[in-house]
Amino acid sequence: MIERLKSCFLKEMPFFLAAPAVLWAIILFLFPLLCLIFTSFIDQDTGLFSWYNYHHIANITIAIIIIRSLFYALLTTFFTLIIGYPIAYYVAFYARAKEYMLFFLTLPFWTNLIVLVYAWFFLLEREGLINFLLTKLGLITEPLQLAYTTGSVILVMTYCYIPFMIMPLYSVLNKFNMRLLEASCDLGATYFQTLRHVIIPVSLPGIRTGIILVFVPSFGEFIVPALMGGAKQLTVGSLISYYFVVSKNYAIGSAFTILSGLILLLTAILIYFLITLIKK
């Protein structure tokens, strides 16, 4: 009997070896997400199913916060696209040591996010380097308010997410079929016409991936707005961290998280389909 069990066990060993990874992901990722959804429907006091939490957060302040995060995320995506596309284009078409270039372009991404934010802080704050240099050169008399503005938040977020945009764009442009360019030249198109009618449409899948890769994380970003935006500009991320860490109000916090998550998902799907429509 024991022998049979042992041999069965040994035969099924592969399953037991492979299972932990899957179990890890299911127990620690899927299940907690479900718990989150579950918690958002529970009333804090009575412990019963209720829509109380959602009622509680359905007010204009919350709406403003969500819209502000969407706004930041969209602006960041826009700027990373504008800055990232020429870079990806250059590296894919013209550069010689492509992989080294790519390595150097994505290197800032691998450093600590906090270090990057601190570096910009160092430049932008009132006693920071930029203000200092400008005052030294006599161009301004009083230090400019560069940090703690919306502009600085967008700037630093763009800085942090550029590599996410460059990588998909590069991988699509790298596989670009050069004969399409030759063909369009033969048919008499100018450079800008080629750009508009050939290059951009072909790279649209890469643009779509890049937009999604930048938009989704930057929506939930809270370090950059918290450090660079000051306490006045609340975003989704800072509010979530407030609910869960400071006030420990898990019920309302999860309701808010689920709500913002849904809005993020809807917006991301909307953008995805818009671009797919443009493709056709």
Residues 146-205 that bind other proteins (CB under 8 A): 159, 162, 181, 185, 191
Here's the x/- map for other proteins, 39-58, by CB under 8 A: it reads as x-------------------
Residue of the chain from 66, 105, 211, 259 that contacts other proteins (CB under 8 A) = 105
Contacting other proteins within 226-265 (CB under 8 A): 227, 237, 240-241, 244-245, 250, 253-254, 257, 261, 264
CA distance 126 to 259: 37
Residue of the chain from 8, 33, 67, 262 that contacts other proteins (CB under 8 A) = 33
Q: Which two tokens stand for residue 113?
A: 């996010």
Residue of the chain from 74, 119, 204, 263 that contacts other proteins (CB under 8 A) = 119
Q: Is 193 helix (H, G, I), strand (E, B) or coil?
A: helix
Nearer to other proteins, 45 or 186 (CB): 186
Task: Say which residues have a Cβ less than 8 Å from residue 260's Cβ, sequence separation at least 6.
Answer: 66, 69, 219, 220, 236, 240
Q: How far is the CB of 280 from other proteins (least distance, A)?
A: 25
Q: How far is the CB of 208 from other proteins (least distance, A)?
A: 14
Assess 20 for contact with other proteins (CB under 8 A).
yes
Burial 92-129 (b: 16+ CB within 10 A, else e): beeeeeeeebbeebeeebeeeeeebbeebbebbbeebe
Nearer to other proteins, 57 or 105 (CB): 105
Assess 31 for contact with other proteins (CB under 8 A).
yes
CA distance 91 to 190: 22
Amino acid at 107: L
CA distance 279 to 263: 24
Q: How far is the CB of 183 from other proteins (least distance, A)?
A: 13
Residue of the chain from 6, 8, 9, 28 that contacts other proteins (CB under 8 A) = 28
Q: Which two tokens stand for residue 198?
A: 């050939």
Q: How many CA atoms lie within 13 A of 53 on its CB side?
A: 27
Assess 118 for contact with other proteins (CB under 8 A).
yes
Assess 144 for contact with other proteins (CB under 8 A).
no
Assess 79 for contact with other proteins (CB under 8 A).
no
